[in-house]
Amino acid sequence: MNQASNMLLEVKGLSQTYALPRSNWFAPKPTLQALQQIHFELAPGKSLGIVGESGSGKSTLARLIMALEKPTEGRVIFKGQDLNRLNPDQLREIRPEFQMVFQDPYSALDPRQTVLKIVSEPIQNKTQSEMKELAVSALMEVGLLASDLDKYPHEFSGGQRQRIAIARALITRPSLIVADEPLSALDVSVQAQVLNLMMDLQDKHGLSYVLVSHDLAVVNLMCDDVMVLQEGCMVEYGSSDEIFKNPKHPCTQNLLSAIPG
């Protein structure tokens, strides 16, 4: 356990291999190397953008950081604790401190539940009235109304649904939010609003973000550091300034050349 580090998140030698179905009964089991030897650190209040082409391992990395999967190799250390060495109760206890916002605000919210139920889901050990109070506060922070608590997801636009998802992530006052393509399902006009909201919340609460995105313009605006993945390998890593002004790897150069204007 790394007590001396002042880093919020440390990822060390992270690799993930998946077994694939055999082509026939006697063939060796094929595997897919989704991630290979990923290393990075994230300081409190800072943001890391993870970019790469489709299938480069970005979402796998997000799931491993969130301890939704166990890695084949390597460690995810959050606030000095190796998440994969914690038992389920210990993990449940620390989980409120790191939350996730998913890509699709349509499928991420249970259509059968009210906004109150959705937003207060991550909270533990609170009375009904305390949960409602926290949910109202979280909703208002993301620009929604207290009266929205009794509504259902289908009554909201895509941008509003993503605000609800962000309110759910915020309600536990986490130190870290992992956002997996949080803008890609939204209209361009709404993307800017949600992006500004995320940046305002970071300033207000000192949040750290790990932002998975294919949109380098968004990453440049929001992130201090950038990691470029290609076929599960980290091919470039550095400050946003360095990466955007002087991209060294062909993959990074290709991604940058695809930005309009």
Residue 142 DSSP class = T
Q: What is the largest CA-CA distance in the chain?
A: 61
CA–CA separation, 47 vs 175, rounded Å? 11
Alpha-carbon distances, residue 15 vs 69, 183, 210 (angstroms): 12, 27, 18
CA–CA separation, 111 vs 153, rounded Å? 6
* pLDDT tens-digit profile, the chain (261 residues): 444 578 999 999 999 999 888 888 888 888 889 999 999 999 999 999 999 988 899 999 999 999 999 999 999 999 999 999 999 999 999 999 999 998 887 788 899 999 999 999 988 788 889 999 999 999 999 999 999 999 999 999 988 998 999 999 999 999 999 999 888 878 888 888 888 989 999 999 999 999 999 888 889 999 999 999 999 999 999 999 999 999 999 999 988 887 776
**Beta-ladder partners of 238:** 226
> How many residues does this entry show for the chain?
261
* Phi, psi of 156, deg, nearest 5: -120, 155
- Domains in the chain: ranges and CATH: 9-21+31-257 (3.40.50.300)
- pTM, 2 dp: 0.89
In degrees, to the nearest 5, what angle opens at C-alpha 160 toward C-alphas 158 and 161? 65
pLDDT at 79: 95
The H helix count followed by the E strand count for the chain is 9, 10
CA–CA separation, 35 vs 233, rounded Å? 6
